[in-house]
A and B are shown apart, each in its own frame.
Chain A
Amino acid sequence: MTRHLDQELTALLDGALPPARAREVEQHLAGCASCRAERDRLAHAVQLLAALPPPPAPSPDFSRGFYARLDAEPTARAGVLELLRRARWRNLVPIAGGALTLALVVGALASYRAEQARLARGLDLYQDYELVAGLDAVQDPEDVLVVGHLDELPAGARP
């Protein structure tokens, strides 16, 4: 009995050890009070967690709300594309320079703000690069990049 049991105790409790290894672990436990105590401590937590009441059931509106959002999908997708276009265009503004241009842009953005706030919720859904890359809505790698870095856009430009 040179080595005490470690993560195999948890795997044993979860029935996740191969039978041969489980028998060896049991043999060690039979002769080792310290590992038995640790096993009991872990088993205690596992039992408590198994007895935890389930999370409350969803509200009756859950399904209806989902289908409503699903029906609104094509619009949301078009909206995200629109936001992507603006985000790219905005990046070019500092290069163009000119305080007047900037003021006009800021003014235009302010009027879009309410709409952007709505779009941003849809945009959150595009956060996984992997998923974004697979969307036909996104046409080139730059779009993915822009989505991934929206939070780095100037504060005033964000919804």
Chain B
Amino acid sequence: MTVKTKNIMIVGVGGQGTLLASKLLGKILLMKGYDIKVSEVHGMSQRGGSVVTYVRYGEKVYSPIIDKGEADIILSFELLEAARWIEYLKTDGIIITNTQQTNPMPVITGAAEYPENLTDKIAAAGARAICFDALSLAEEAGSSKAVNLVLLGKLSNSFDFTEEEWMKAIEVSVPEKFLEINKKAFLLGKNA
């Protein structure tokens, strides 16, 4: 076996901008010459449901999806979603999560409760957990919509790609007028 396939999951709530994060990751991995598969389900789940994107890269990638215990890294846009997918993390994997909380419908209607102390429980599940408030940093960068770039910045510390390479991938994936905000958000996340 040569280069082992790496598995990254990006999870969140439909409409949170997880798609841009996976698109950007795909771009940079392609630039580095890896074989890649990126997989996500479109359709029904986009309407505020739980969403997941699988990114796999290496010398030769077969399956487009990631199963329980296989993810090297989980990047989560919302705290409950980090908890939902924790079983997919390798025992020595890293979970990076935004601490923002968005109530799902069963919680809104009172049929269920949003679990308490999730950051502690996620850390106790055996994973290396990085929990931080990406929303505030996005607002600091200039837009609450830039949460995805803040999280990606944090994720970038787990790769040995240069800052220039990341910036180049951002430039080809983000519209000109949002470039400044997005770059700023990326750096705030990276250094958080």
B is bound to A: no
